Amino acid sequence: MALYNQTVDFLSGAFSNHQTQLPLLAVTGASFTLGLLARSVFPRNEPLQNVLVSPRSTVLPGISESENRQLPLPADVLPGARDVDSPYGSIRVYEWGPEDGPKVLFVHGITTPCIALGGVAHALVDRGCRVMLFDLFGRGYSDCPADLPQDERLFSTQIFLALTSSPISWTGADSGKFCLTGYSLGGGIAAAFASYFPHLLSSLVLLAPSGLLRDSQISFQSRLLYSKGLMPENILTSLVSRRLRAGPLTRPKPKNKKLNAADALTEELPSQNAAATQILSRSYPQINVPSVVTWQVINHTGFVHAFMSSMRYGPILRERQWNRWARLGEYLTAQNGTSRNENKRLADNKVHILCGNNDLIIVKSELVPDATAALGGNVIFKFYDAGHEFPSTKYEEVASYIFELL
């Protein structure tokens, strides 16, 4: 998953074949003209319904148990599955592990549902933890509210909805608090949440987090493509859907190349060798992230909308999120002067950021100085010999690190 995965690579993928690549800007201009023409010639679509339903409503009712087991994302892919009704649509939550164990809540990235963090979750339960994962709106088996921006306000609300659905207390005085762990977009969500509710957390772990992506990393064509109002939404949605259905590009993203839409898919998905060896689900060891993402694109009516809305409004860019990170840093600095016995502090009074040395989206040389400055030095870094996908391939090492904090 990755991040401000935008760009007219969507358009190139939609309108080109393996023999011909149209110039990026030319395609953008043609699509823009087509959009204006379509707006004047064709009738406008009816307003979106408030909730775009997940495969829970469109796929599961018509299949048998044996057919469910053959799905790229079975309904019971992780233990403790439950569906939580809310005004925003149904939310899929998974929770298991000892009820009296240290608690860890996971927030996944922009493209993959929460199964991408299944390996880490299983490894922590092996160590005696209680874990909770949920599919963000528009991913996996969670519905998608179509009339709200996917920003930190909506995501923070979803976190609370997931927490309060638990049969045990995650936020009460005797709960022991919980470790919040966010990956990629989920890292930006977790940092924003922690900036307002740090007193609920025992620790904060960010895995290749968004939130501080520099504005200079984003291509002009990407900004044009995702500027709301320049092109009719139905045409833009169709283009994005085509690009997502095509899957990740096989060519690697060159260093120093500005981010585009394909980067999100390419960087969040593990290599074929890694996908063949990782075990994200103990019940279904054959499950892998690339197959899940492809199935989700085809079967979730709200995924493309959620993907686009998250890139427009989600906690991704430094220019929009710096104040959230700085707010958290100020809180941690203030806590340095309080007694540990007051039980208000995060673990080590630090934010723990884990990343891959070879991550082409969250760049080490930019992340370290930016996060250090924003958090007032209240940060500890850990780097792995891997890329952006490391939480789904190095889950034992990640689980060991998190467990030491607990």
The whole-number pLDDT of residue 210 equals: 95
CA pair distance 35, 38, nearest whole angstrom: 5
Single-letter code of the amino acid located at 250: T
Which DSSP string corresponds to 108-170? Answer: --SSS-GGGGHHHHHHHHHTT-EEEEEPPTTSTT--EETTS--SHHHHHHHHHHHHHTSSS-S
Beta-carbon contacts of residue 224 (< 8 Å; ≥ 6 apart): 8, 28, 32, 230
The whole-number pLDDT of residue 250 equals: 40
Beta-carbon contacts of residue 215 (< 8 Å; ≥ 6 apart): 317, 318, 319
pTM of the model: 0.84
Beta-carbon contacts of residue 165 (< 8 Å; ≥ 6 apart): 82, 84, 91, 93
The closest of 297, 219, 233 to 31, measured between CA atoms, is: 233
Residue 215 CA: distances (Å) to CA of 189, 218, 361, 396? 18, 6, 13, 33
Backbone angles phi, psi at 249, to 5 degrees: -70, 150
The whole-number pLDDT of residue 78 equals: 98
User: For residue 383, what is the enclosing H or E element?
Assistant: strand 379-384
Is the backbone of residue 364 left (phi > 0), alpha (psi -120 to 50) or beta? alpha
Helix 364-374, helix 318-335: angle, nearest 10: 50
β-pair type (51-52, 144-145) = antiparallel
The stretches in the chain having pLDDT less than 70 are 1-49, 218-230, 246-277, 338-345
Single-letter code of the amino acid located at 163: L
Structure token pair of residue 333: 């600095």
59 CB neighbour count, 10 Å cutoff? 19
The whole-number pLDDT of residue 134 equals: 98
CA pair distance 270, 392, nearest whole angstrom: 7
In eight-state DSSP terms, residue 209 is -
Residue 275 CA: distances (Å) to CA of 2, 290, 347? 17, 8, 33
CA pair distance 340, 370, nearest whole angstrom: 28
Residue 239 CA: distances (Å) to CA of 8, 12, 25, 227? 10, 10, 15, 14
CA pair distance 143, 152, nearest whole angstrom: 17
Read off the pLDDT of residues 178-212 as tens digits, 9 standing for 90 and up. Answer: 999 999 999 999 999 999 999 999 999 999 999 99
The whole-number pLDDT of residue 258 equals: 58
CATH (one of 3.40.50.1820, 3.30.360.10, 3.90.470.10, 1.20.120.450) for 51-338+346-405:
3.40.50.1820
Long-range Cβ contact pairs of 245-253 (< 8 A, separation 24 or more) = 245/294, 245/297, 245/298, 246/13, 246/14, 247/290, 247/293, 247/294, 248/290, 249/9, 249/13, 252/360, 253/360
- With beta carbons less than 8 A apart as the criterion, state whether 111 and 264 touch: yes
The whole-number pLDDT of residue 227 equals: 65
- With beta carbons less than 8 A apart as the criterion, state whether 191 and 211 touch: yes
CA pair distance 209, 89, nearest whole angstrom: 26
Q: Radius of gyration (Cα) for the chain, nearest Å?
A: 21
User: For residue 307, what is the enclosing H or E element?
Assistant: helix 303-313
